[in-house]
Copies of this chain bind each other. A is one copy, B any other.
Amino acid sequence: VTVAAGRRARARRGEGERLREEVLGAARELLAETGSEEAVSIRAVAARVGVSTPSIYLHFPDKQALIDAVCEQVFAALDQRMEAAAAEADSPFEALRRSGMAYIQFGIENPEHYRIVFLARSEQDRSADRQVASDVFQHLVARIQACVDVGILVGEPFVLGMTLWAGAHGLTSLLVTKPHWPWPDVSELADRVVRTSGLGLALYSRLDPVASQPDADPDEVADAVQEAGRAMAETLRRLG
C-alpha cells in the first residue's frame, strides 16, 4: 500500500467532484494491486489519493458504495471491449467468437478486477451491478440472436447465452484463481475453449432431443450426430 507522494492540492470551489474521480481511480488501482475487496480499505484509498480518511465520505456514503462504483466502471470497460471486438467481425458467428475471446482477454489482463466483479459473492441488493452486468449479458444475447437469425445457432438465445458464458467464464476464473497451476499456452487454450463452446452449442442444439436422453439407442445417437453435423455444414456453405 503506497502513500501518495505529497499532500494533494485542495480543489477550487465548485471542483469538488474532482476528488471523486481521484478516489475512484485510486480504489481501482488498489484493487488491481491487492485483488480483494477487504484489502481495499477506506484508509488506504485516502492515503493513496493524499487526502485524509474522512474526505472519502464527502463523495461516497460508505465503503460499499465506493466498491459498487468501481464495479460499475469495470463492467462498462468489459462491455466496451467486447462490443469493439465484435464490431471487427464480418459475420455473426465470428462476432460471437471474437467477443468471447475479448472477454477472456479482459479477465487475463485485469485479474483482480475480474475477481471482484465475477468471483465475489454478489449480495441481493447491488442493483447497480445487476443493471450494468445485464448490459453485458444483453449484448451477448443480441449477438446470439443474430446467429440464430442466420441459422448458425438454433434455440433460445437466453439459454444459449448462459452456456457460452459458462464456458468463457470457466476458463477465465480458473486462470484468475489458480495462477500457479501448470497452464499450457493460455491463448491457445482460450481459443480452444471458445471454439469448443461455439461448435458444441451449434451441434448440440441441432441434435434430435431423443438422442439426448440418457437411455437413447447408441445408433440413434450416432445418426443424430451425423445429421446435425451435415445440417451445420450446409448452413455454413449457404452463409459462406
Q: A residues touching B (Cβ–Cβ < 8 Å)? A: 35-36, 38, 94, 115, 118-122, 124, 130, 158-159, 162-163, 165-171, 173-174, 177-180, 183-184, 189, 191-193, 195-201, 203-204, 207, 212, 214, 217-219, 221-223, 225-226, 228-230, 232-234, 236-237, 239-240
Q: Residues of B contacting A158 with CB < 8 Å?
A: 184
Write out the residue numbers on chain B whose beta carbons fall within 8 Å of the beta carbon of A219. 236-237, 240
Q: Is the Cβ of A178 less than 8 Å from the Cβ of B122? A: yes
Q: What are 12 of the A-B contact pairs (CB < 8 Å)? A: A166-B167, A166-B174, A166-B193, A167-B167, A169-B173, A169-B174, A199-B203, A200-B203, A200-B204, A219-B236, A226-B230, A226-B232
Q: Contact partner of A180 among B122, B183, B189, B228, CB < 8 A?
A: B122
Taking a contact as CB atoms under 8 Å apart, the answer to whether A130 and B221 are in contact is no
Contact A236 B212 (CB under 8 A): no
Indicate if the CB atoms of A166 and B159 lie closer than 8 Å: no
In terms of DSSP, what is the predominant structure of the interface of chain A? helix
Interface centre among A166, A184, A207, A239 (most CB of B within 10 A): A166
Residue of B nearest to A175 (CB): B166
Q: With A and B bound together, what is the CA distance between A164 and B196 in angstroms?
A: 10
Closest B residue, CB atoms, query A171:
B166
Task: Enumerate the 6 nearest inter-chain pairs by beta-carbon distance, A residue then B residue, closest first.
Answer: A229-B229, A200-B200, A170-B170, A218-B240, A226-B233, A166-B170
- Cβ of A200: which chain B residues have Cβ within 8 Å of it? 196-201, 203-204
Q: Output the nearest chain B residue to A205 by Cβ-Cβ distance.
A: B196
Alpha-carbon separation in the docked complex, A168 to B167 (Å): 8
Residues of B within 8 A of A38 (CB): 38
Residues of B within 8 A of A233 (CB): 222-223, 225-226, 229
Give min CB distance, A193 to chain B, whole Å: 5
Q: How far apart are the CA atoms of A118 and B166 in the complex, in Å?
A: 15
Minimum CB–CB distance from A181 to chain B (whole Å) comes to 8
A110 to B221 alpha-carbon distance, docked (Å) = 34
Known: A178-B122, A199-B204. A193 touches B229 (CB 8 A): no
| Set B179, B184, B192: member contacting A204, Cβ < 8 A | B192
| CB contact under 8 A between A184 and B159, given known A218-B236, A219-B237 | yes
Residues in B with CB closer than 8 Å to A192 are 159, 163, 204
